[in-house]
Chains A and B, each alone.
Chain A
Amino acid sequence: MSSSIRAVPRSVVAVGIVGVTVLAVPLAAIIFEAPWAEVGSHLGSAETKSAIRVSMIVSFSAAALSVLLGVPLAFILARSNIRGKALLRTVITVPLVLPPVVTGVALLAGFGRRSVLGQLLGFGLSNSMTGAILAATIVAMPFLVLSVEGSLHSIDPDYERVAAAFGAPPLARWWRIGLPLSRSAILAGAVLAWARALGEFGATITFAGNIAGVSRTLPLEIAVALESDPGRATAVSLLMLGVSLVVLVTLRDRWIRR
C-alpha cells in the first residue's frame, strides 16, 4: 500500500487531501446538521411533494429532449466532415460555461413574452412548465452531446461502412448500427443530462419563474424554504444529495473505466 502512495510525491498527496477535504466538508456538514427527526415530515409536506412532481416532469422531459435533439448533434460532431464544425461545437458548449442566469436572460430575449416569437404567437414560453423544461434542456443538453460524442470516437466507424457495403442506406446504417452501438454512451449521457436538469436553478427562476406547481422545482423550493423554513431547505437538500449519490453510483463503472 505504501509503495503505491509513494508513486505520487508526498506534497502532492497532501494537497490532494486538502482538496478532498474542501469538497467533502460541506457535504458531511449538511448530513450531520440535518434535523433528521423532521426530515420525513418535511419531505412529506405538500410544498415538497409539489416540487418533487414538478422536478420529475421537468428533469425527465429535459433529459428526453436532450437525447432526441442531442444525439444527432453528437453524431454530426463525431462523424461528419461538415464545415463549421468548430462553430457548431462552440454553440453547443456555450451553455456549459455560461452562468445559468445569463441563459435565462437569453431565453427571455428569445422566447419571452416581449420577444419577437412571443409577440408573433401572442404568448411567451416564460413563466410556464414548458419554459422550465426548455431552460433545463438548454443547460443539460451540452452534457449529453459532449459525453456521447466522446464515446462515439471509440466506436469503430468501419461497422457502418460494412453495413453500407451490404446495402444499408444511410438512415438504416445509423438506426441499425450506429445508434445501437452507442446505446450505453447515450444512456450515460442521458443520466448526466438528467442530473444537470434536476439541479438547474438560475435559468429556471429567471426564465420560467418560481410558480408553485408549475416551475417551482426542488432547487427553487430550497431557495424558498431557506427564507421561511430552513429545516425544510435542509431536508430537500438532503434529498437532492441522495439523488446525486445514486446517479454517481449508476455512472461509477463508466467513470472508473475511463
Chain B
Amino acid sequence: MDIVRLATTSALVGLIVAGGVSSCGFGSGTAGLDDARPTTVDVYAASSLTDVYSEIEQRFEDANPDIDIRLNLAGSSTLARQINDGAPADVFAPADLSILDQLEPNIIQASVTPPEPYAKNRLVLVVPAGNPQSIEQLIRLEQSDILTAKCISGVPCGDATDRGLASAGIELGLVTEETNVRSVLAKVVAGEVDAGFVYQTDAKVAAEVNVVEGFDSPAVQLVAIDLNASRPPDSARSSSVESKEASARFVSYIGSEQAETILTSAGFEQP
C-alpha cells in the first residue's frame, strides 16, 4: 500500500514537473484571448542563414506588426532531428533541399510538393587574410602539412564540399571536420587552419579571409517549407487559422522581391 501511494505521489510530482517544463519551454503559437498579442511563427533556420534571416525577420515584422517571428538557428540536420522529435516548428528553412529527406514522411507529406527553392548558395575555398600558406590551387590541399577545415559529412555544407572535391578529384591531406559552417569560418578567421570550405555568403561577411578561386562546388538549394499548413487541426499543437495564415505569409515573404533584395546583397544567388 505504501508503494502504491508512493507511486501515485511520484506520478503527480512528475506531472507537475513535466507540465511546468512544457508550459515555460514552448509558448503557444496561437494568439489567445488577448488580441493585442501578436501571433508567433517559429522559424527553424540553418545557422548559415543567421545574418540574412535576422534581417528578414526584422523587415517582415516591421511590415506585419501582428506577427512575431521566433528564430531557432542551428545546423540543418540538427533542426531536422528536432522537428522529427516533435519540436513545434512552423517553418523549416534548411541550408539545402536534400535535408528534407531527413524529415519523417508524415511531417513532410502534406506540405507543398515539390518545394520551390527561393535561392541558392555555393561553397568556396577561403584562406586566412594574406594567404600565409600561399594556397593558390586546390591541389595544394592534398599536402599532408596543409590543414583544411570543412563541415562534417552529412550536413549540407559538408556534403556539398564532398561532392565538389570528388568532382575535382581532390583528396584532402589533413582535414578537421567542424559541426557547422560557422565553426569552419571561425577557424579560418583565427588562422588556426590553413584553408576552409565555407559558403560564399560567409566569405562575404568575414573581412579577415581571402577567397581562393577555382573551387567549383555544386550549389545548395535553399527552401522554406510551411510545416504549419499541413498540421492537422486536432494535433497536439492545435493551430489556429491565424497561426496558419501567419506562417503562410512568412513563407511567401521569403519568396518575395523584398526578401530577394536582402538575399542578393548577402551573396545568395537566384535559384
Find out whether A and B make contact in their complex, taking CB atoms under 8 A apart as touching: yes
**Does B238 sit at the interface, judged by CB under 8 A?**
no
Q: Are A17 and B10 in contact (CB under 8 A)?
A: yes
Rounded to whole angstroms, the CA-CA distance of A34 and B271 in the bound complex is 41
Q: Are A18 and B192 in contact (CB under 8 A)?
A: no
Residues of B within 8 A of A226 (CB): 154
Provide 5 A-B residue pairs closer than 8 Å at the C-beta atoms, listed in order of the A residue.
A18-B10, A114-B190, A209-B149, A209-B193, A212-B177
Given A223-B152, A227-B152: A10 touches B191 (CB 8 Å cut-off): no
Residues of A within 8 A of B77 (CB): 227
- Residues 14 to 61 of chain A near chain B (Cβ within 8 Å): 14-15, 17-18, 21
Residues of A within 8 A of B115 (CB): none
Q: Are B10 and A14 in contact (CB under 8 A)?
A: yes
Q: Are B192 and A14 in contact (CB under 8 A)?
A: no
Q: Are B13 and A15 in contact (CB under 8 A)?
A: yes
**Does A5 sit at the interface, judged by CB under 8 A?**
yes
User: Considering only CB atoms, which chain A residue lies closest to B150 in the complex?
Assistant: A210
Residues of B within 8 A of A211 (CB): 147, 174-177
Residues of B within 8 A of A17 (CB): 6, 10, 13
Rounded to whole angstroms, the CA-CA distance of A209 and B187 in the bound complex is 9
Q: How far is the CB of B183 from chain A (nearest CB, A)?
A: 8
Given A21-B14, A126-B192: A210 touches B9 (CB 8 Å cut-off): no
**Does A11 sit at the interface, judged by CB under 8 A?**
yes
Q: Are A228 and B6 in contact (CB under 8 A)?
A: no
- Residues 1 to 16 of chain B near chain A (Cβ within 8 Å): 2, 5-6, 9-10, 12-14
Q: Are B176 and A127 in contact (CB under 8 A)?
A: yes
**Does A80 sit at the interface, judged by CB under 8 A?**
no
User: Considering only CB atoms, which chain B residue lies closest to A225 in the complex?
Assistant: B154
Partner of A205, one of B14, B179, B190: B179
Interface residues of B (CB under 8 A from A): 2, 5-6, 9-10, 12-14, 17, 77, 147, 149, 152-155, 158, 174-179, 187, 190-193
Q: Are A223 and B179 in contact (CB under 8 A)?
A: yes
Partner of B14, one of A18, A124, A209, A212: A18
Rounded to whole angstroms, the CA-CA distance of A126 and B193 in the bound complex is 9
**Does A108 sit at the interface, judged by CB under 8 A?**
yes
Q: Are B9 and A11 in contact (CB under 8 A)?
A: yes
Which of A13, A127, A216 lies at the interface centre, i.e. has the most chain B CB atoms within 10 A of its CB?
Answer: A127
- Residues 192 to 244 of chain A near chain B (Cβ within 8 Å): 205, 209-212, 214-216, 223-224, 226-229
Q: Are A228 and B176 in contact (CB under 8 A)?
A: no
Q: Are B13 and A228 in contact (CB under 8 A)?
A: no
Q: Are B152 and A224 in contact (CB under 8 A)?
A: yes
**Does A173 sit at the interface, judged by CB under 8 A?**
no
Q: How far is the CB of A97 from chain B (nearest CB, A)?
A: 23
Residues of B within 8 A of A205 (CB): 178-179
Residues of A within 8 A of B179 (CB): 205, 223, 227
User: Considering only CB atoms, which chain A residue lies closest to B155 in the complex?
Assistant: A227
Q: Are B192 and A112 in contact (CB under 8 A)?
A: yes
Residues of B within 8 A of A108 (CB): 190, 192
Q: How far is the CB of B174 from chain A (nearest CB, A)?
A: 6
**Does A2 sit at the interface, judged by CB under 8 A?**
yes
Q: Are B5 and A113 in contact (CB under 8 A)?
A: no
Partner of B6, one of A14, A114, A214: A14
Partner of B192, one of A11, A124, A214: A124
User: Considering only CB atoms, which chain A residue lies closest to B153 in the complex?
Assistant: A228
User: Considering only CB atoms, which chain B residue lies closest to A213 in the complex?
Assistant: B174
Partner of A209, one of B2, B13, B152, B176: B176
Rounded to whole angstroms, the CA-CA distance of A113 and B176 in the bound complex is 15
Rounded to whole angstroms, the CA-CA distance of A15 and B12 in the bound complex is 10
Q: Are A113 and B191 in contact (CB under 8 A)?
A: yes
Q: How far is the CB of A135 from chain B (nearest CB, A)?
A: 13
Q: Shortest 10 CB-CB distances between A and B: which pairs?
A: A227-B154, A209-B176, A228-B154, A14-B9, A17-B10, A14-B10, A210-B177, A211-B176, A114-B191, A18-B14
